[in-house]
Structure 1
């Protein structure tokens, strides 16, 4: 049987404008009907079973070729689907149903059967692959952190927050809201307890994941949580300011070149 959707009528009474616009999408209105969920979700699970079957074929091939012991396999996804949760149909917003994705890693040199509860991001995979292949991670270019220590029983610098962003310019919600193509962005910062959302042109959203793990109570306008919103807002914009936009020179090269113009020739303007 199909489990009940994670949604409540309160979410439709006074929704955030962006949430409200996405609830007007055709797929959202469709998945608001229980008969649609009962018909579609079994088909969705059939697709999951199909993936499982084909991954079994892949693993069998790797075994036959003797490559399982030198191959790292990562199973993940780019997003989850709402399928009616929060009165939504597809993806793109920041509820756990959308942003909390699977990450299963088979590493021949790793600790088998380990479960890691640390906060991680999809961008952590590239430095993980680089390090696993014996390469050197370039921190001035890569914002992710290698997960190899976690996979192999070591310790890695723990994240106390993860971040995500969305651009809904190509979606009908933008037209419903009357936003320009360059005015349709949203950002998320999530800690173990809090989830803070910033939307261009609208008030923020805040969810207390400890008290409200189903994310049905939006504290974005609650005066009692102004301090938490301010702290998370600053964390979000500190992250935005820290993006790796200098990709040509490593930190070590910058250190070496700092204030070294005179050593390399004449300084224009100094006579």
Structure 2
């Protein structure tokens, strides 16, 4: 199992597969390296690197849950790049991973050669935040992975029409561990405490300056057509701020596209070509 140690002593898990141009894959808020399993078969000619943030997946939980924040996680990404002796890389950031990519471009511009934002921007829609807070940090009511998959289908199926049952089962297995006595989260439940503490600390920081840091490098944005995180209005404003941005709306997807859709793959390969 590949691991590296952060500057504050945590062991973080990562995966490094393939050869060629590196693509650093950063998962969503509660997710892990499995976020990119559907993309991996299409990256045969690339070096694909993915990591579990602190408190997620196979990485160590932090003693202080306040360290579950975008800037600290961005610092951990720099630690991974240093561990792998990599300079600038193209970053594919899903949701939370996209926020981290923006933070990296602002604080460490020499480490970012291009960015693909998967269904996220500098404004996170309030409806999406409310939906996330309904489940984050709480154990699932489902008692089996099959039941969890059925719950996902019931909740998200309208935003993801036509997605087969085996995909929902794979997503459930990526999110939850079957303990034999029920399901457990594959992340530190205190992530909820971190989000609540950040909300209580004051208004959400203005993320537009972080988005502005992406200027001057290849930038693509994927938006699920039914997304409740990245609105059409925000995407239009992003295009106004950065006319060079390449935006693609993925049909029959909410938050987030799986990344193996033809539209997603075309954009990912285009940004990789532009940063080669």
Q: Same fold (TM over 0.5)?
A: no
TM-score range for the pair, normalised by the shorter chain length? under 0.3
TM-score of the superposition, structure 1-length normalised?
0.22
Q: Quick one: higher RCO (CA 8 Å, sep 6+), 1 or 2?
A: 2
TM-score of the superposition, structure 2-length normalised?
0.21
User: Radius of gyration: which is bigger?
Assistant: 1
